[in-house]
Each structure stands twice: as C-alpha cells, then as structure tokens.
Amino acid sequence: MALVKDRRQLNLRLPLAELSERRPRFPLPLPPSSISSAATSSSSATTSATISLSDLEKIQVLGHGNGGTVYKVRHKRNSNIYALKVVHSDCDPINRRQIFREISILRRTDSPYVVKSHSVFEKPGGDVAILMEYMDRGTLENLIKSGVNFSEEILAKIAYQVVQGLEHLHSHKIIHRDLKPSNLLVNSEMEVKIADFGVSKIMCRTLDPCNSYVGTCAYMSPERFDPDTYGNNNDGSYNGYASDIWSLGLTLLELYLGHFPYLGEGQRPDWATLMCAICFGEPPSLPESVSKEFRSFIECCLQKDSSKRWKASQLLGHPFLQKVKRP
C-alpha cells in the first residue's frame, strides 16, 4: 500500500482548460438556485433556510486543496455533523470558478447517490462555503490506503451506487469528468456518493461535444487523450458520458487490485507513460479467479471504442449488479 501512496502524491492533473474556464476579469456572483420545489425535499429546504455560519463550530480539518479547506463542523444547537468546504477569496480564479460550477451542479441534483448540499454561504471578505452532508469514512481512496480488501460482493454494492449516481447525473446532462476513488465519499454504512464537481460540465444539449482535457489524466479514457482517433465524432470531440463509464471501470479495478491497474508495482507515473498505456495498450485485465459477471462488467466499462461502452442505464441491468440488495 505504501507504493500506492507514493503514486497518489504526484500531480497527475493536466493544466489545459477550455475557453469557458479561463480566468474571469471580475468576481463571479453566486449562481442562482435552480432547484424547483418538486426536486427538493422539504427537510432539505428547511435545513437550508435555518442554518447560518454562526450556527456552526469547527471540529477538525478534513483536507486541503484547490485554494480551499474542508472542515468537519457541528451545529451548535442540534449537534448535527456536516462537512464545510471553504474556498478562500484570494485563491486562483480558476479554482474559484470551479467552486461556482460545483455549487450550480449541486443545486441541480437530488439523488441519494450524489453528495447533498445543504447551504451555500458567501462571506463579506469573499470566501465562499458549501455546507454538505458528512461522510464519516472519507473517500474510497482512504480505504485503499488503509489496506481494505474489497470483495466482489462489496464491489457490486459500490458499483450499483455509483452507476445510480451517474445515471442521475447523465439524465440531467451533467458529466462528472473526474470520477476516481478520491471523489467517491463513503460512510460507515458503506453508502457511496459521488462528490467534487469542480471540473464537471453541464451539457446545454444532449449531443453537445466535449473537447476539454480537465480532470485527472490517470483515469481519462482513450478518446480524452486522442479524440481524433477514439472520439467517434469526427470533429475532435468525445462522448463525455462514455468517458465517465471508463473512469468507473478503472476505479473498480483499482479497488479490487489495491493499486492503480495501469502501473506496475514501484512504477512512477507520468503523463507520457499513462497516455501510451491507455491509448496504445490493451485495457487492464482481471485475474482468472474473478467471476465471469465481474469480468464482463469491467469489460463493458473499459471498451477502448467509446461507442461500445455501456451506458449507465444499461449497466444497471448487468448481471453483476442483479444480486445487490436494493434499498
């Protein structure tokens, strides 16, 4: 597990950004809330209306990154626990734009498989904060680092929840673009929720193209590295929905193997190594001991030809997920 930790400390993010993500010349206002009363539960609406920053006390820091800090906080009156993501006013404008994108997307979603946002605050000094539900076991990446072994039964439960979350997002024309173990939150009940929508994209139309390289390159699909060869659109773009499915397949493989599947033990990753492995090599395979259902599920996700990858709605009917006990 130490080798996996070394790999993760490296920065595998690509700096290129699409036109819409260039630095703004002026401060951006908070995006308006677009969740209708039909899409938001009354309990969530009540929570949003009654909580203020003064009601919260910080317990500990959960993490840092992208110009901000995530805190574990407690409501002073009812002792409820939340996660508070704060992006500072002096952070990079690109990071600030990402937090506004995340706010906009969280306000569009209402799914038990996507992390819930309770409130959004903008401090007088310009800091922006999102109050979210707290997942007490952190991320699936934390579990990998701690040496947890994921059986096929557990992986099927994880896969079912993530696919449900993706199906919800995709049906609302939202592409995550950075699905990986560190962006999947988990609690002590092994409930898994998709989080971190800083580089996600809201598609204006169902067939809008994607042509951005944002995200973590280790989990990118072949067409994201080389859309001209693998994109199937003949215009230098790719199917963003299918790219999320590829990232799902790699994530499940990593959980099962305990290390990133494209790299040998002790191998230090770099952009060129990953790009060559993903674009020119065969998709990583599973040991012979796995079930045919699990092998088939991974193969449905890791088709290099994006047009052959199953959609989230199709994966929900895959035999690998049929034995999962539904809520």
Active site residues per annotation = 178
CB of 72 within 8 A of CB of 60?
Answer: yes
CB of 139 within 8 A of CB of 193?
Answer: no
How far is the CA of 56 from the CAs of 62, 73, 85, 88, in angstroms? 15, 6, 13, 18
Kindly report the backbone phi and psi dihedral angles of residue 226, in degrees, each rounded to the nearest multiple of 5, phi listed first.
-140, 75
Closest alpha carbon to 177 in 108, 252, 241: 241
Q: Which amino acid is at 76?
A: K
How far is the CA of 163 from the CAs of 8, 111, 168, 233, in angstroms? 24, 12, 8, 25
Kindly report the backbone phi and psi dihedral angles of residue 127, in degrees, each rounded to the nearest multiple of 5, phi listed first.
-65, 145
Q: Which amino acid is at 284?
A: P
Beta bridge partners of 69: 64, 86
Beta bridge partners of 139: 185
In angstroms, the CA 152 to CA 26 distance is 50
- Spatial CB neighbours of 230, under 8 Å, sequence gap ≥ 6: 221, 222, 223, 238, 279, 304, 305, 306
Supply angle C-alpha 206, 209, 213, rounded to 5: 130
Beta bridge partners of 196: none
Neighbours of 262 (CB within 10 A): 20
**Residue holding tokens 């002590």?**
188
